[in-house]
């Protein structure tokens, strides 16, 4: 079974530029998550999708961050314009809900390391 795929793995941009990250979850997983992990901290949830609908985006800085999952499979996370404090690892994860016979166990991709200079 293929795991969660993310690209790119690394990205360096200047402040005020825009950037986009891509995630493809495990096949059959309806729930997809984007996390931000700042160095030395645990991951923080930015947005959660159930199929192509947003379940929780309460911690997403909506003035600069956006995310979509149009066909309920892969997803993109965009930052525009980027700030220095956006430097972090962006992790994508997927899971099966209880209703789908799962246990909410989350499977993570390798992450994208973003550096904003």
Partner 1 sequence: KQEVTQIPAALSVPEGENLVLNCSFTDSAIYNLQWFRQDPGKGLTSLLLIQSSQREQTSGRLNASLDKSSGRSTLYIAASQPGDSATYLCAVYPEYGNKLVFGAGTILRVKS
As measured in angstroms, the least distance from the Cβ of 100 to partner 1 is 14
Task: Determine the 3-state secondary structure of 46 from DSSP.
Answer: strand
Signed CA dihedral, 7, 35, 65, 76: sign only: positive
As measured in angstroms, the least distance from the Cβ of 26 to partner 1 is 12
> By 3-state DSSP, what share of the chain in percent is helix, strand and coil, each rounded to 5?
5, 45, 50
What's the rounded Cα separation, in Å, for the pair 60 and 65?
A: 7
Q: Hey, how many other C-beta atoms are within 10 angstroms of the C-beta on 101?
A: 7
Nearer to partner 1, 80 or 115 (CB): 115
Query: Quick check: 27 binds partner 1 (CB under 8 A)?
Result: no
Binding residues among 28-47 for partner 1 as defined by CB under 8 A: 33, 40-45
* Binding track, positions 51-80, relative to partner 1; x by CB under 8 A: ----xx------------------------
Query: Quick check: 104 binds partner 1 (CB under 8 A)?
Result: yes
Query: Quick check: 107 binds partner 1 (CB under 8 A)?
Result: yes
**Interior angle at CA 55, CA 86 and CA 27, nearest 5:** 90
Residues of the shown chain interacting with partner 1 in the complex, contacts defined by CB under 8 A: 4, 6, 33, 40-45, 48, 55-56, 91, 93, 98, 103-111, 113
């Amino acid at each position: 079974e293929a795991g969660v795929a993310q690209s790119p793995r690394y990205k360096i941009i200047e402040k005020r530029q825009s950037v986009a990250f891509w995630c493809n979850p495990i096949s059959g997983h309806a729930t997809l998550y984007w996390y931000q992990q700042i160095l030395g901290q645990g991951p923080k949830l930015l947005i959660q999708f159930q199929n192509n609908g947003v379940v929780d985006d309460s911690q997403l800085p909506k003035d600069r961050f956006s995310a979509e999952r149009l066909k309920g499979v892969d997803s993109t996370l965009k930052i525009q314009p980027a700030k220095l404090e956006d430097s972090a690892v962006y992790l994508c994860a997927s899971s099966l809900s209880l209703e789908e016979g799962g246990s909410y166990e989350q499977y993570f991709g390798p992450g994208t390391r973003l550096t904003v200079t």
